[in-house]
Amino acid sequence: MTEATKDERPIIQIPRCLQIHTVTKSLISYADSLKYHSTYQLAAHACIWAPTQRASLFGELRALVMMHLRFDGTFGFPGGLIEPGEDAVIGVNREMAEEIGWDSAVHAVTWENYHSSQVDHDKKLVLHFFITKITESQYVALEKKCLSAHEYGNEVFGTIRVPLYTMPNLYSGLPAFLNNKFVGTAKQQLLLMLYHMNIMTEEEISDVMYKSQNLKLAPNRF
């Protein structure tokens, strides 16, 4: 998708298990988001991920998906507020350079990576979300650079890999991870990303959501 054609892209497909009010109410097309650009604050975040296919002691590693622990104790994706007059793509690359040591000269986020837009009328905020695929070796190198990023220890308190497996007790792994606190709609963005990048099927996501909510108090969850 080019910068010109992003205006024509429809709202992303939402799997049935995520067709809930908290997800659907805020999603808008990029074209519709433009009407708020002059009066609302703009923000942009990106999900950085790498495909992998190997087993671990705890479950199958299907992909490496990066999130980080924020200064406020919640999990979110790299990115942040866009400066007045700044293009969203330029802004998200700048924010990621500050937060995780992202080098846009090596693998820049572009409008080809645009995924979705959301609006929060209460906060007067428009959020643009991008998904960028890199190689596993690039991902590992980026993890190491995160420790020397300008905002590490200030805005960012740690970079993590999302555990994309469910352990034999049916709770540990991704179901347990989803019970953390996420900033804004980051949890929904994560699940939509897993679906749209074909990392997990709709049935698998639905099953994980069920286990996350219904097994969190099970006595054998550890």
Q: How far apart are CA 213 and CA 5, in angstroms?
A: 39
Residue 119: CB atoms within 10 A of its CB come to 18
pLDDT band with cut points at 50, 70 and 90 for residue 5: low
pLDDT in tens, 156-180: 999 999 999 999 999 999 999 999 9
Q: Are 77 and 69 in contact (CB under 8 A)?
A: no
pLDDT at residue 216, as a whole number? 75
pLDDT at residue 129, as a whole number? 96
pLDDT in tens, 61-92: 899 999 999 999 999 999 999 999 899 999 99
Q: What is the mean pLDDT of the chain?
A: 90
For residue 185, being part of any structural domain is answered with no
Q: In the 8-state DSSP scheme, what is residue 200?
A: S
pLDDT band with cut points at 50, 70 and 90 for residue 58: confident
For residue 9, being part of any structural domain is answered with yes
Q: Give the range of the structural domain holding residue 129, as residue numbers without chain letter.
A: 5-15+26-164
Name the phi and psi angles at 5, rounded to 5.
-80, -10
Which residues does residue 41 pair with via DSSP β-bridges, in sequence order?
125
How many structural domains are present in the chain?
1
Q: Is 53 left (phi over 0), alpha (psi -120 to 50) or beta?
A: beta
- Is the per-residue pLDDT at 13 higher than 70? yes
For residue 207, being part of any structural domain is answered with no
pLDDT band with cut points at 50, 70 and 90 for residue 110: very high
Q: In the 8-state DSSP scheme, what is residue 74?
A: -
pLDDT band with cut points at 50, 70 and 90 for residue 11: confident
CATH code for the domain in which residue 93 is found: 3.90.79.10
pLDDT in tens, 123-160: 999 999 999 999 999 999 999 999 999 999 999 999 99
For residue 125, being part of any structural domain is answered with yes
Q: How far apart are CA 102 and CA 151, in angstroms?
A: 12
For residue 66, being part of any structural domain is answered with yes
For residue 179, being part of any structural domain is answered with no
Q: Which long-range contacts (CB under 8 A, 24 or more apart) does 10-14 make?
A: 11/116, 12/115, 12/116, 12/192, 12/196, 13/196, 14/192
Mean pLDDT of 10-25: 70
pLDDT at residue 55, as a whole number? 80
For residue 211, being part of any structural domain is answered with no
C-alpha distances (whole Å) from 216 to each of 21, 128, 176, 210, 220 are: 23, 32, 7, 10, 10
For residue 80, being part of any structural domain is answered with yes
pLDDT at residue 196, as a whole number? 94
pLDDT at residue 21, as a whole number? 53
> In 3-state terms, what secondary structure has residue 209?
helix
